[in-house]
């Protein structure tokens, strides 16, 4: 059995760590590329969500590299995420690929089935070893999230463009190589030192928050490296979801320091109930960013995403009411990097000029006062 899963930001470090710890064979799909997108768009239905196509491309490339067991998380609620695994299974089988699809569902009623599938995946290893492997991988994920957050907060001050990004690459390697908790705590100190030692300079800063559909927020290749682009434009950037937030069903957001109920509460004047996916959080977190003194918000949404389309229709009202500029970026296989770069540049300039007009210093920490 050769297991694989789709890329999504730093997810490969978590999943890879689990299977390494367990000594179970796995295959990483090749890094996301134009080919991944072309494969997904060729086999995926035209009006399917963009992430369905990109992850379908990952699966095809993983099978080409020898994978025969594909893991896909299945979601819940009024959103198409819950159908990805089944839709992709049918598409791949119709295309003649041989594999088994393993959907992992975490709704209470689906837990017994998920445990049976996990039992197959662990291939005779004990439940205790699986538990330990997941716990260790989550510890790594939490460290990676905090390092990524540090990178978002400092990239705009790089004396040499790309220096923070290069330092982050080294940090990923350091975290990946750590095989024990004690090694990981040493790495934590070294990695933060490494990241903070990037030569910096003063700059005309502007604060931009990112909201949107989780996959697109977390997956840099397919969001056209929006965070990096904003950082290079001189923006201190925060995103409203990190990998460990997404992995945590409790709704805690330990990296950001608040619970998703707080975001729902802030969204209430504009949207009173969940609409699937991250729709309500895109609204609530925009309000939160405004309260925290951010100068603008970028919403990332995949083409045809239902929850984000609802949020997109509400955000102009939030923007008018609170006086915070919001830019909605819709991404699909036809989206060009140059067009997005131009819009981000214009948006950052607008946000910066508003900041100058406001002329007030804002708190750079994301510690909400609800």
Residue 63 is encoded by which pair of tokens?
Answer: 């099978």
3-state helix, strand, coil in the chain (%, to 5): 55, 10, 30
Please say which residue, 209 or 302, places its beta carbon nearer to ligand SF4. Answer: 302
Q: CB of 294 within 8 A of CB of 322?
A: no
Least distance (Å) between residue 175 CB and ligand SF4: 28
Least distance (Å) between residue 79 CB and ligand SF4: 3
Please say which residue, 28 or 306, places its beta carbon nearer to ligand SF4. Answer: 306
List the one residue from 44, 220, 277, 296 that touches ligand SF4 (CB under 6 A).
Answer: 277
The angle subtended at Cα 313 by Cα 280 and Cα 239, nearest 5°, is: 45
Residue 268 is encoded by which pair of tokens?
Answer: 């209430």
Please say which residue, 223 or 348, places its beta carbon nearer to ligand SF4. Answer: 223
Q: CB of 324 within 8 A of CB of 296?
A: yes
Answer yes or no whether residue 80 interacts with ligand SF4 by CB under 6 A.
yes
Q: Which of residues 293-312 bind ligand SF4 (CB under 6 A)?
A: 302, 305-308
Least distance (Å) between residue 239 CB and ligand SF4: 16
Residue 47 is encoded by which pair of tokens?
Answer: 């009006």
Please say which residue, 80 or 253, places its beta carbon nearer to ligand SF4. Answer: 80
Which DSSP letter does residue 123 get? T
Give the separation between CA 17 and CA 11, rounded to whole angstroms. Answer: 10
Least distance (Å) between residue 195 CB and ligand SF4: 31
Please say which residue, 213 or 285, places its beta carbon nearer to ligand SF4. Answer: 213
Give the separation between CA 116 and CA 311, rounded to whole angstroms. Answer: 37
DSSP letter string over 332-353?
A: -TT--HHHHHHHHHHHHHHHHH
Least distance (Å) between residue 108 CB and ligand SF4: 21
Give the separation between CA 235 and CA 345, rounded to whole angstroms. Answer: 10
- Range in contact with ligand SF4 (rule: CB under 6 A) among 63-71, 79-87, 94-102, 229-237: 79-87
List the one residue from 9, 29, 40, 51 that touches ligand SF4 (CB under 6 A).
Answer: 51
CA torsion, points 183, 252, 297, 195, in degrees to nearest 10?
-10
Angle (deg, nearest 10), helices 50-64 and 84-94: 50
Q: Do you know the residue count of the chain?
A: 370
How many residues form the binding site for ligand SF4 (CB under 6 A)? 12
Residue 261 CB contacts under 8 Å (≥ 6 apart), including other chains: 251
Least distance (Å) between residue 164 CB and ligand SF4: 29
Q: CB of 180 within 8 A of CB of 320?
A: no
Answer yes or no whether residue 105 interacts with ligand SF4 by CB under 6 A.
no
Please say which residue, 164 or 328, places its beta carbon nearer to ligand SF4. Answer: 328
Phi/psi of residue 308, nearest 5 degrees: -75, -25
List the one residue from 60, 79, 92, 137 that touches ligand SF4 (CB under 6 A).
Answer: 79
Q: Which of residues 180-219 bind ligand SF4 (CB under 6 A)?
A: 213
Least distance (Å) between residue 213 CB and ligand SF4: 5
Answer yes or no whether residue 153 interacts with ligand SF4 by CB under 6 A.
no
Least distance (Å) between residue 332 CB and ligand SF4: 10
Binding site for ligand SF4 (CB under 6 A): 49, 51, 79-81, 213, 277, 302, 305-308
């Amino acid at each position: 059995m050769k297991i694989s899963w789709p890329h999504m930001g730093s997810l490969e470090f978590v999943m890879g760590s689990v299977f390494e710890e367990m000594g179970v064979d796995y295959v990483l799909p090749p890094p996301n590329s134009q080919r991944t997108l072309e494969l997904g768009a060729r086999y995926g239905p035209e009006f399917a969500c963009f992430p369905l196509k990109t992850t379908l491309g990952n699966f095809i490339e993983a099978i080409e590299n020898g994978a025969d067991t594909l893991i896909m998380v299945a979601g819940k609620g009024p959103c198409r995420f819950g159908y990805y695994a089944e839709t992709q299974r049918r598409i791949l089988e119709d295309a003649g690929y041989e594999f088994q699809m393993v959907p992992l569902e975490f709704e209470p009623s689906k837990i017994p089935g998920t445990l049976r599938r996990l039992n197959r995946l662990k291939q005779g290893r004990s439940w205790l070893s699986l538990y330990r492997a997941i716990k260790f991988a989550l510890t790594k994920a939490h460290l990676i999230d905090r390092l990524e957050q540090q990178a978002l907060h400092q990239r705009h001050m790089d004396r040499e463009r790309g220096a923070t990004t290069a330092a982050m690459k080294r940090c990923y390697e350091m975290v990946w190589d750590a095989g024990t908790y004690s090694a990981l705590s040493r790495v934590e100190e070294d990695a933060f030192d490494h990241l903070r030692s990037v030569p910096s300079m003063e700059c005309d800063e502007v604060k931009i928050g990112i909201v949107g559909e989780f996959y697109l927020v977390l997956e840099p290749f397919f969001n056209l490296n929006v965070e990096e682009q904003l950082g290079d434009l001189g923006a201190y950037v925060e995103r409203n979801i990190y990998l460990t937030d997404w992995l945590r069903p409790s709704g805690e957001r330990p990296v950001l320091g608040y619970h998703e109920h707080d975001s729902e509460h802030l969204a209430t004047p504009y949207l009173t109930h969940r609409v699937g996916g991250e729709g309500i959080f895109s609204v609530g977190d925009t309000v939160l960013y405004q309260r925290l003194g951010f100068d603008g918000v970028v919403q990332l949404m995949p083409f045809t995403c239902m929850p984000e389309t609802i949020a997109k229709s509400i955000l102009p009202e939030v923007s008018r009411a609170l006086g915070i500029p919001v830019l909605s970026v819709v991404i699909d296989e036809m989206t060009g990097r140059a067009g997005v770069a131009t819009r981000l540049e214009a948006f950052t300039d607008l946000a910066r000029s508003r900041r100058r007009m406001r002329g007030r210093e804002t708190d750079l920490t994301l510690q909400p006062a609800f």
